[in-house]
Structure 1
Amino acid sequence: MRVYKVSLILLIAFPVLNTGAQLVSTYEVKPELRKADSDWMWLESTVDKIKAEEWAAVNHMPVRIDDGRTLAELVAVRDGKPVYIKTHNANAAISTGANLIRDVSPYNLDGDGVIVGVWDGGEVLTTHREFGTRVTDKDAVASHWHATHVGGTIAASGVTSSAKGMAPAAMIYSHDWTSDISEMTTEAASAPGQQSAKIYLSNHSYGYFTGWEDGTFYGFEDFGKYNSNARSTDIMVYNAQYFLPFWSAGNDRNDAGDGSHEGDGKYKDGYDTISDNAIGKNVMTVGAVSDAVSGGGRNVSRAGMSAFSSWGPADDGRIKPDIVANGVNLYSCDDDNNSDYTHSSGTSMSSPNACGSAALLVEYYKELFPPDGAMRASTLKGLIIHTADDLGNAGPDYSYGWGLMNTKAAADLLKDYAGGSVQRLKEGLLHETTNTVDTFTVAASGNEPLRITICWTDPAGPTQSTSDSRTKVLVNDLDLRVTGPGGTYYPFVLSYSVPEAAATTGDNDIDNVEQVLIDSSIPGNYTVEVSFKGSELAGDSQRYSMLVSGISSDSDTDSIPDFWEMQYFGSTTGALASLDSDGDGADNLTEYISGFDPTDPASVFAITTQEAGPDGGAPFVITWNAVEGRVYNVKLSNNLLYDPFAGNESLSGDLPYPADSFTDLVERVTSPVFYQVDVRLAD
């Protein structure tokens, strides 16, 4: 804590970066629950598989389909219909901005020390020259070209430079897709400091037969539905809140029918074509765009929507996909031999493009906050969404989600946070009785939009049993509100009934991501409030992550933000912190913290009245000239020698604006008595 003692009664305190211990997940404190969940999910998937194979034998249906283009496998039978899981096939690092921090100073990131889980239709070819010894075969099954291509997109070392992965030094734990949720439950990180044993992120470039598939119609019922697959994934992530799965959105939008039913792309005009696990609230669902590259550099305007990438919304109206990445014609490893490569397209490619880029952010956070720094899944997901480049309609939409992943912008936010801009990232905790609302004050620079995003890992919601059910699956409904010059600002909302419509703002009661964007922010203070609806929270509490952009910088590192120096002194370095520019007894730093004009001697923080009771004692009332965005504390001492107020506890506790007075009801018998009012910026 940096403390500045100024004038007669004024004490100013600044918060400093605090990277103290973060709360761990359920699976960390209840390892027996992790094992029980994993065992149950394994048993359930195994029984489903056995029954499906028996059904296939009776009905003369294939168990596994591999035509060199699409890999599919029968995993269950639901309501008499086969359930096939399938791969999602159809200058990636430049598109996501990963090349700008990969092996580039001052970041120098390559994924070293990060383990990425890859679940797919087979194993990644462990002996491919691009991997060295960095791929571990966890399931002892045959390699497959699709898994190998995905693994290369994430972590190929660059022996062939055009096939270099996003995180070329990362390790891969390679699984086939059998019992995926059970295995993820076992391996998911549930606390910081688990980099050597657990995984903080994984890639899943597969989904299930829905709509049309190779001339067979499987029905539209599961498009958008929060089914048991989505729910199981949310349960697992909620109990291991440091683990974020990346899931491909699917390639169903250009599937044509045979006339008996309309094609997937005609059904709802291509909207509502994402299904199963990718509909989960707590996963990162990734759509596919074309290469965002022009002249060898990143050009967001080139990131056009692919013809195949599936679109949202979820049936309850949630925003899906979450983001997009390059998924068109990616060059990566093949498994015909140890030096084989191929091109492929699909959200199967965009998902590892984003996942591998995220591995660099996982590595960077650990380096910034050694030795065990780790982001919660909600922080990593919120960070990527917050810093994505907007595409399509202004704001989020059901095609591009929140936009194209921008890895460098995400890394720069982390760098700012580690460098002392502590308001750029917060991990908060609401409790249904002890902390029902968090309030923060941020100072907008006015030089760029003010953007505030919250993201939380929500408990699993109720399974939707019917198609197009509007039943909400959000459990803990958090609310983000921002108040400042111009009024109160609300988060983005989308229209389920008119999915192509541009986002508006209002009360978002369906998404576990909320964002407020003030395009033309006025320099000054804004109050940010995070609360929840109702009187109860599932689990009694809810952790959330908050990301902030557009707040003031401090070019001369004097603890006075640039916007304030520009406002009163005409430049970003115009105010000397220790100088009393207007001669009113308060230096410029004091004027900023207390909220007054440093050029006006009549504008200064002061006690405005003090009044004793009828007999000169209690009650004793103190008032002061309060300012928005400040928090006050009143202290008491019996002498003015040797820094008398330094160790004293607050009489009043925190008194946020608009509080401007304190009444001491205690009859003081010791004389003399001195009161001090402290002021600080709200957190």
Structure 2
Amino acid sequence: MDRNIPLSLPTCKRIFLTLTLLTSVLTFGQNREQALQIQGEYNVSKIHSFTSELKKDFTTSRTKVLSMAKSNGWKISETLENGNFVELQDVGPDGSPIYYSTFSDNVSQVSRASSLYSNGSLHLDLTGEGMQVGVWDGGVALATHQEFDTRANVGDATNDISAHATMVMGTLIASGVKEKAKGVAYKAKATTNDWSRDKIEVSEAAANGLLLSNHSYGIKSDRVPEWYFGSYIKVSQDWDKIMFNAPYYLMVSAAGNSQRMGDNKAPIYGKSSDGFDLMLGFAASKNGVTVAAADTRINTDGSLVSATVANYSNFGPMDDSRIKPDIAGGGNNIYAANSSSATSYDTSSGTSMATPGITGSMLLLQEYYERLNESFMKAATLKGIVLHTADDVDAPGPDFKMGWGIMNSKRAAELITNKDYTSIISEEILNEGDTYSIIVKADGNNTLIASISWTDPAADYVNRGLLNDITPALVNDLDIRILKDGKEFLPWKLSAANATDAAAKGDNSVDPFERVEIANAFGEYIILVTNKGNFKEKSQNFSIIVSGIKTTDCMIAVPTGVSLEEATEDAVNITWDAQTDALFEVQYREVGIGDWTTEYHYETTDSLKGLVNGKSYEVRLRTFCSENVVSAYSPIIEFTFQGTETHLEEVFVLEELSVIEPLKLSIYPNPAVEQISINGSVSQNAMFSIVNTMGVTIKTGEANQKKIDVANLSTGLYILTVQDLVGVKATKFYKS
């Protein structure tokens, strides 16, 4: 399939017409209708078949585990001196007991999802309300804790209340009865389960539309032989199969906290004390997201100052050189709900605490994407966006300590907002042997970044005892390249044999996510996605994500030059100034009465129909540069319809007050750092708003004090609008 799609104006128009721009009713969360929409794309019989296999395996395995535990004197479960809970879950192919362990030391802090809240820098009002998330852990959370309201549901018939599970749940969904314990997705619902039947329960939940689950636990690393580390084993395969069968579902797991324990005596790289080659079990699956913990310093505007991997967080690589962990989040000194009572709290550190910060942030991104597009992202898309927008740390490219870097929820949300304006987010399918290609134009200011992400089929081969086995787990090998003037730009890759080396650029044949970056990009580029053939099922779904581009020459500007033209007995034509590539929204109604009549045009004229002689009407317009990138409305204008004698009255209708001297708006300083001041007089009723270049209003308030705090704004260009008695005036300013 050769897809040559230059992002010209006609393409942009087709995008507009096929999206849901014209609806004003948005739904949120994961209701029954949304679950059915997700299930409609699944092979439900295949999921049920695999779930049945898991149930049979569980019954057989449990009998074997209990028998061997009795014969060998193994403990079934215990609580360690550091508070971690461990439990015997399985026996490996070599007879080794496999214990699951919670990953927590003591103390922590969460990711930058605050930029997505109503009072955050993007003012998106994302809360997780209506969204669902699953939590599997060493026991269940205290569902009656005051932080959970009625939003925590116990999925297992168990009385094993876990302090660890409660803190994880709190980091995800706590409402903020105590503000510093507030969860990332603080209005979401969560189901808490113990880990004993995790694969079975997740497979069933995923079949019913579950999008995300949190697993802040893993195999205890001091109780398995060295060949387990970095290996693709049966449990890795099982989780990959669950995610492949249910491609909207994504597992998020903790990397573990044994960096300094020396548990792997024969790592694929370095000495045991170096901390490399510690990935185990489902943290080693290809399709899930594995989370490291980091010590971070972040500015009030959300920009990363510095980051280092936490001194307990496990390092990769996988033995086949796959990049694990995938991403890092804040893992230190997190204050969260505790299970001692319904009003108790505690602090904790560890990858256990970093993981729900990432899971909760991704849940908010799914909420936001669904709000804008009326559908959820596939797991590969969500994972791809998170890795595409992560804050790079130290040397350019990924590493085996923090993967692609520190999660940046703000940048991820901006990428989603700018879809089809300065970014591409597209879910595609590639047939075996075919090529996908698009032509993009660099914006000339930002690094051109193109990524592909896919949910890969579970590998048939699993390691059963070979130390540091480099056999690739990747099944369907997709490749992304960027071409310009005969030059080929390649994706990042890492080598397990040289784990401390900076990332190189070359053919990546092991990771189901690839990213190409071009600094100082200028002009047009061709992005190619190809494959090496031999797909397991003859085709592969994938997601492509591109940023640092221009898909249109449209500018986010309020329409100007509005005038009335030819009128009939019940209608009047309105015109306005043209703008390249813009879609215009026109709204009109009888003054102050009823809902707006809304129409959309690429042309610069509209016929306002159904008007009644002698009645007064109001009109406003705004500019769409993509489905989600929109200007503020023009000032409301009023006219009285007089049939063919209608003319425009040059009056801004704001309040029923007498006209005063027109507002002359200027500000200082410009560029601004901490605050801006308004020159000239404004009335006691004047209001201001600050709009960013995406058309999102990020700050409002009273303008009569004439001083506006902008310290928390990100660096960039903004529009200040002041609405006073006689109308609206606007000016641009730069926040440095």
Question: Does structure 1 retain, via aligned residues, the 8 Å contact 2:128–2:363?
Answer: yes
Question: Does structure 1 retain, via aligned residues, the 8 Å contact 2:312–2:350?
Answer: yes
Q: Tell me the SS of whatever aligns to 2:473.
A: coil
Query: Given the two structures, how large is their TM-score scaled by the length of structure 1?
Result: 0.73
Aligned to 2:462: 463
Per-residue Cα deviation, 1:193-215 (whole angstroms, up to 9, x for no partner): xxxx63100100111122x3xxx
Q: Tell me the SS of whatever aligns to 2:67.
A: helix
Out of 396, 399, 407, the position equivalent to 1:397 is 399
1:378 aligns to 2:394 (yes or no): no
Deviation, structure 1 residue 335: 0.1
Out of 292, 306, 309, the position equivalent to 2:310 is 306
Out of 173, 184, 204, the position equivalent to 1:166 is 184
| Structure-to-structure mapping, 1:266-285, within 5 angstroms | 266-267=271-272, 269-285=274-290
Per-residue Cα deviation, 1:170-223 (whole angstroms, up to 9, x for no partner): 10011110111111110115xxxxxxx63100100111122x3xxxx5322211
Q: Tell me the SS of whatever aligns to 1:454.
A: strand
Inter-CA distance 19–40: structure 2 relative to 1 (3 Å threshold): farther
In 1: Cα distance, 2:542 partner to 2:254 partner:
24
Inter-CA distance 50–297: structure 2 relative to 1 (3 Å threshold): farther
Q: Tell me the SS of whatever aligns to 2:68.
A: helix
Deviation, structure 1 residue 84: 0.6
Deviation, structure 1 residue 54: 2.1
1:480 aligns to 2:498 (yes or no): no
Deviation, structure 1 residue 111: 0.3
Out of 411, 414, 428, the position equivalent to 1:412 is 414
Inter-CA distance 374–53: structure 2 relative to 1 (3 Å threshold): same
1:512 aligns to 2:526 (yes or no): no
Inter-CA distance 120–507: structure 2 relative to 1 (3 Å threshold): same
In 2: Cα distance, 1:86 partner to 1:63 partner:
12
Aligned to 1:680: none
| Structure-to-structure mapping, 1:589-628, within 5 angstroms | none
Inter-CA distance 25–539: structure 2 relative to 1 (3 Å threshold): farther
In 2: Cα distance, 1:491 partner to 1:84 partner:
37
Out of 222, 230, 233, the position equivalent to 1:224 is 230
Deviation, structure 1 residue 59: 2.3
Per-residue Cα deviation, 1:121-167 (whole angstroms, up to 9, x for no partner): 01111000000110110102121000001001111000000010100
Q: Tell me the SS of whatever aligns to 1:162.
A: helix
Inter-CA distance 270–116: structure 2 relative to 1 (3 Å threshold): same
Question: Does structure 2 retain, via aligned residues, the 8 Å contact 1:93–1:99?
Answer: no
Deviation, structure 1 residue 276: 0.7
Aligned to 1:255: 261
Deviation, structure 1 residue 533: 0.8
Question: Does structure 2 retain, via aligned residues, the 8 Å contact 1:206–1:348?
Answer: yes
In 2: Cα distance, 1:273 partner to 1:122 partner:
25
| Structure-to-structure mapping, 1:290-305, within 5 angstroms | 290-293=295-298, 298=302, 300-305=304-309
Inter-CA distance 19–203: structure 2 relative to 1 (3 Å threshold): farther
Deviation, structure 1 residue 62: 1.1
Out of 88, 109, 112, the position equivalent to 1:74 is 88
Q: Tell me the SS of whatever aligns to 1:221.
A: helix
RMSD of the alignment, in Å?
3.0
In 2: Cα distance, 1:357 partner to 1:102 partner:
11
Inter-CA distance 556–529: structure 2 relative to 1 (3 Å threshold): closer
> Which residue identity is paired with 1:219?
P
| Structure-to-structure mapping, 1:629-640, within 5 angstroms | none
Out of 436, 440, 443, the position equivalent to 1:442 is 440
Deviation, structure 1 residue 19: 4.7
> Which residue identity is paired with 1:228?
K
In 1: Cα distance, 2:540 partner to 2:44 partner:
21
Aligned to 1:590: none
In 1: Cα distance, 2:11 partner to 2:372 partner:
28
In 2: Cα distance, 1:165 partner to 1:135 partner:
13
Question: Does structure 1 retain, via aligned residues, the 8 Å contact 2:76–2:87?
Answer: yes
Question: Does structure 2 retain, via aligned residues, the 8 Å contact 1:291–1:328?
Answer: no
Deviation, structure 1 residue 225: 0.2
Inter-CA distance 94–143: structure 2 relative to 1 (3 Å threshold): closer
Deviation, structure 1 residue 365: 1.1
Deviation, structure 1 residue 23: 13
> Which residue identity is paired with 1:157?
S
> Which residue identity is paired with 1:73?
E
1:55 aligns to 2:72 (yes or no): no
Per-residue Cα deviation, 1:631-661 (whole angstroms, up to 9, x for no partner): xxxxxxxxxxxxxxxxxxxxxxxxxxxxxxx
Query: Given the two structures, how large is their TM-score scaled by the length of structure 2?
Result: 0.68
In 2: Cα distance, 1:383 partner to 1:486 partner:
29
Question: Does structure 1 retain, via aligned residues, the 8 Å contact 2:109–2:335?
Answer: no
Question: Does structure 2 retain, via aligned residues, the 8 Å contact 1:123–1:176?
Answer: yes
Aligned to 2:197: 179
In 2: Cα distance, 1:576 partner to 1:235 partner:
50
Deviation, structure 1 residue 406: 0.5
Question: Does structure 2 retain, via aligned residues, the 8 Å contact 1:27–1:240?
Answer: no
Aligned to 2:524: 525
Aligned to 2:48: 35
Inter-CA distance 300–93: structure 2 relative to 1 (3 Å threshold): farther
Which range moves more in the overlay, 80-89 or 242-251?
80-89
Inter-CA distance 576–218: structure 2 relative to 1 (3 Å threshold): closer
Identity of aligned residues (%): 35
Out of 331, 339, 342, the position equivalent to 1:338 is 342
Which range moves more in the overlay, 61-70 or 227-236?
61-70
Aligned to 1:202: 213
Question: Does structure 1 retain, via aligned residues, the 8 Å contact 2:231–2:463?
Answer: yes
Deviation, structure 1 residue 425: 0.8
In 2: Cα distance, 1:228 partner to 1:73 partner:
19
Question: Does structure 2 retain, via aligned residues, the 8 Å contact 1:287–1:324?
Answer: yes
In 1: Cα distance, 2:450 partner to 2:36 partner:
23
Deviation, structure 1 residue 97: 2.1
Deviation, structure 1 residue 257: 6.5
Q: Tell me the SS of whatever aligns to 2:418.
A: helix
Deviation, structure 1 residue 554: 5.5
Which range moves more in the overlay, 31-40 or 407-416?
31-40
In 2: Cα distance, 1:377 partner to 1:263 partner:
30
In 2: Cα distance, 1:257 partner to 1:272 partner:
10
Inter-CA distance 32–554: structure 2 relative to 1 (3 Å threshold): closer
Inter-CA distance 87–421: structure 2 relative to 1 (3 Å threshold): same
Question: Does structure 1 retain, via aligned residues, the 8 Å contact 2:252–2:290?
Answer: yes
Deviation, structure 1 residue 252: 1.7
Deviation, structure 1 residue 308: 1.0
Aligned to 2:323: 319
1:353 aligns to 2:361 (yes or no): no
Deviation, structure 1 residue 506: 1.0
In 2: Cα distance, 1:315 partner to 1:167 partner:
35
Question: Does structure 2 retain, via aligned residues, the 8 Å contact 1:37–1:182?
Answer: no
Question: Does structure 2 retain, via aligned residues, the 8 Å contact 1:241–1:377?
Answer: yes
Deviation, structure 1 residue 303: 2.5
Question: Does structure 2 retain, via aligned residues, the 8 Å contact 1:203–1:352?
Answer: yes
Question: Does structure 1 retain, via aligned residues, the 8 Å contact 2:430–2:436?
Answer: yes
Gaps of 5+ in 1: 1-9, 190-196, 560-574, 579-683
Per-residue Cα deviation, 1:47-71 (whole angstroms, up to 9, x for no partner): 2223222222222221011236111
> Which residue identity is paired with 1:542?
Q
Question: Does structure 1 retain, via aligned residues, the 8 Å contact 2:154–2:192?
Answer: yes
In 2: Cα distance, 1:44 partner to 1:30 partner:
22
In 2: Cα distance, 1:50 partner to 1:349 partner:
33
Aligned to 2:333: 329
> Which residue identity is paired with 2:104?
N
In 2: Cα distance, 1:427 partner to 1:358 partner:
18
Deviation, structure 1 residue 556: 4.7
Q: Tell me the SS of whatever aligns to 1:292.
A: strand
Question: Does structure 1 retain, via aligned residues, the 8 Å contact 2:491–2:516?
Answer: yes
Which range moves more in the overlay, 218-227 or 261-270?
261-270
| Structure-to-structure mapping, 1:550-589, within 5 angstroms | 550-552=548-550, 556-557=554-555, 577=580
